[in-house]
Structure 1
């Protein structure tokens, strides 16, 4: 089968695409299944630099585009348009590609909100294109092992699920500290941009739970805002003295009923506590406990990024009182996603429809916290 030809929107010399999305494509067996044929960035100069860099890495000419994604979307030498830009730009970048009948990939979140995500999923469905969303938990060896243990009955019928996750203060985004990347401005602090503490860390964590254990039928949520402002830090991670009011909740919790098992899910996410000081090095960033009639699964971490298993693989995993070693795949979770997508209909990968289902969970959590009532998850 001929390699899938990728046109990459937002693949510059730095950022998530250059460090996590493109590098796996150079490794075997992905190097035989994909080839990069075009890039599109914000300016002609950055596009030229990117095309030269990746042309050398992929040992073939890479076409440079800039500005609107219409040009790269209509390039006959592009099969799949991969988008890695800020969330508010997702819709404008994806619509021309979908209209051109190209398969599409985009990082999570799909859209700025549930409605925009639904619109993008419907557009792709009407055009009949394949979609891939960057929810890396679907490829995480840890989450897949948990899913396997539960589905095979290793712990019997699931009775309850508990998830306690934390974003330590040392990760400088949202609160209490926020790092400004060049040209980033206050992007992550404006809730209208759709890149909030709820949509990203809570969303990715919830994706782990839903993928391993199935969706939630209803939620009763609570949120609070303990940090009224964020302190900006510089490249040295030290406060600059500049602050900005925080506009969104920074602590979330909810209880819910798992649709498939009927088990109670109790989940919470916190931020603000430190994780690297001597007095806090043993503070857990993740505790995930699944109790069944015949056993239990316990996942723990004190790693800075422990609450996002698709990023950090430093977890202590217990199955029925025995510790189990789980290691990452050499392709990484992003590479495994590319691998599954290349399998076509046989592949196991999250689509835009899966992104909408996750957004419906987040929307129900947000509405429940605002309205003080239990909300059904409409999926």
Structure 2
């Protein structure tokens, strides 16, 4: 058996995304990987994470973690505004690298990060884990196997709740569109990646990107702040296959309606329903109907054996699958791994095209 790929987490606070998804997944025994180090800005929080997840090395000095010979891959799991600088530090140290999505605050930043990693010959992965959802993968298998015949159209809706809820003080920075950590880049970015992993690339887009909730209320104080972050994204377009596509991603003021992807073809229909975004491993199911069927019926979705054995639930599941796939590509020397930094740059450009389509009122070709 090959030696496991050894991971160091940057931003390994137990209360953050690393503590809710990455470290639980890696500590649960994802095949082919080993969590060996965690780094935060305070030694106390690094020690806390190391103790909770059984990590042998804890750092508050990133340079020391990156210099450690037991770390093969460093994962940047921090707030978006610091992705660029930390990623460039990892690359300079010559470590293979995982960075959360979005790769950078802008496409230019993403291009710089990707180019630097490529110049060093490093393996890269961006945190677009929706494509590893068992439901997405099975949907793609069914379509490739001819379940719906020729695909005519697809439509996706993802509307969460709490769009007008009070925001914790630590989230208020996201109200500024300029920092790019908003539903257009994050919720839409993950959702559209999942869709294209099933349906193939998008060829052209038209759309409306808007800020419907123009003030955020701070939890605890009731203080109100102006918001410019886009929170409602409506897109229509055409896939490279020729099929049409429509997408709506937003946050409702009250109860959200979850996620739904409909695929219609010449011979049948497929539907993926989930209580939330599939990239978070929200409970989901696949339904279908063929030929003369009068109603949709649920289709059994195969699950990876190791997931059941690990006992993982929720967010860590697809993160664990992504780590497993990335580790396998490093071990095998596979140059075709996705989602890499190169594919992240293309994803940034897709979101730029959606924004430009909204601002110009003109369809954008990709």
Aligning the two structures, in what range does the TM-score lie when normalised by the shorter sequence? 0.7 to 0.9
Q: Hey, what does 1:309 align to over in structure 2?
A: 278
Structure 2 CA distance for partners of 1:91 and 1:291, relative to 1, 3 Å = same
**Within 2, Cα distance between the matches of 1:166 and 1:205?**
11
**Within 1, Cα distance between the matches of 2:249 and 2:171?**
26
Q: Hey, what does 2:292 align to over in structure 1?
A: none
- Does residue 210 (structure 1) correspond to residue 205 (structure 2)? The answer is no
Q: Hey, what does 1:27 align to over in structure 2?
A: 28
CA contact (8 A) 1:105 1:132 kept: yes
Q: Hey, what does 1:86 align to over in structure 2?
A: 79
- Specify the SS of the correspondent of 2:103: coil
- Note the C-alpha offset of 1:82: 1.0
Query: 353-362 vs 312-321, which deviates more?
Result: 312-321
CA contact (8 A) 1:138 1:349 kept: no
- Does residue 201 (structure 1) correspond to residue 187 (structure 2)? The answer is yes
- Note the C-alpha offset of 1:312: 4.0
- Note the C-alpha offset of 1:196: 1.0
- Note the C-alpha offset of 1:327: 6.8
- Does residue 177 (structure 1) correspond to residue 157 (structure 2)? The answer is no
**Within 2, Cα distance between the matches of 1:25 and 1:136?**
15
Segments of 5+ residues of structure 1 without an aligned counterpart are 170-174, 235-239, 276-282
- Note the C-alpha offset of 1:315: 2.9
- Specify the SS of the correspondent of 2:137: helix
- Does residue 340 (structure 1) correspond to residue 330 (structure 2)? The answer is no
Counterpart mapping for 1:26-105 below 5 A: 26-30=27-31, 33-54=32-53, 57-58=54-55, 61-66=56-61, 69-105=62-98
- Does residue 252 (structure 1) correspond to residue 233 (structure 2)? The answer is yes
Question: 1:286 aligned to 248, 256, 259, which one?
Answer: 259
- Note the C-alpha offset of 1:39: 2.1
Query: 74-83 vs 308-317, which deviates more?
Result: 308-317
- Specify the SS of the correspondent of 1:244: strand
CA contact (8 A) 1:38 1:63 kept: yes
CA contact (8 A) 2:135 2:272 kept: no
- Note the C-alpha offset of 1:53: 4.2
CA contact (8 A) 1:104 1:130 kept: yes
- Note the C-alpha offset of 1:128: 0.7
Q: Hey, what does 1:350 align to over in structure 2?
A: 339
Instruction: Render the CA deviation track for 1:287-318: whole Å, top value 9, x for unaligned.
Output: 311111111112234x3x2xx11224433421
**Within 2, Cα distance between the matches of 1:19 and 1:187?**
21
**Within 1, Cα distance between the matches of 2:193 and 2:242?**
18
Count, aligned residues: 345
**Within 2, Cα distance between the matches of 1:144 and 1:233?**
39
CA contact (8 A) 1:222 1:253 kept: yes
CA contact (8 A) 1:73 1:102 kept: yes
- Does residue 115 (structure 1) correspond to residue 100 (structure 2)? The answer is no
Question: Normalized against structure 1, the TM-score is what?
Answer: 0.85
Structure 2 CA distance for partners of 1:159 and 1:110, relative to 1, 3 Å = same
CA contact (8 A) 1:38 1:65 kept: no
Q: Hey, what does 2:139 align to over in structure 1?
A: 146
- Note the C-alpha offset of 1:72: 2.0
- Note the C-alpha offset of 1:103: 0.4
Structure 2 CA distance for partners of 1:178 and 1:118, relative to 1, 3 Å = farther
**Within 2, Cα distance between the matches of 1:188 and 1:20?**
21
Q: Hey, what does 2:208 align to over in structure 1?
A: 222
**Within 2, Cα distance between the matches of 1:224 and 1:48?**
42
**Within 2, Cα distance between the matches of 1:65 and 1:233?**
30
What is the CA RMSD across the aligned residues, in angstroms? 2.1
Question: 1:370 aligned to 336, 359, 362, which one?
Answer: 359
Instruction: Render the CA deviation track for 1:225-258: whole Å, top value 9, x for unaligned.
Output: 3222122234xxxxx4221111133221111110
- Specify the SS of the correspondent of 1:358: helix
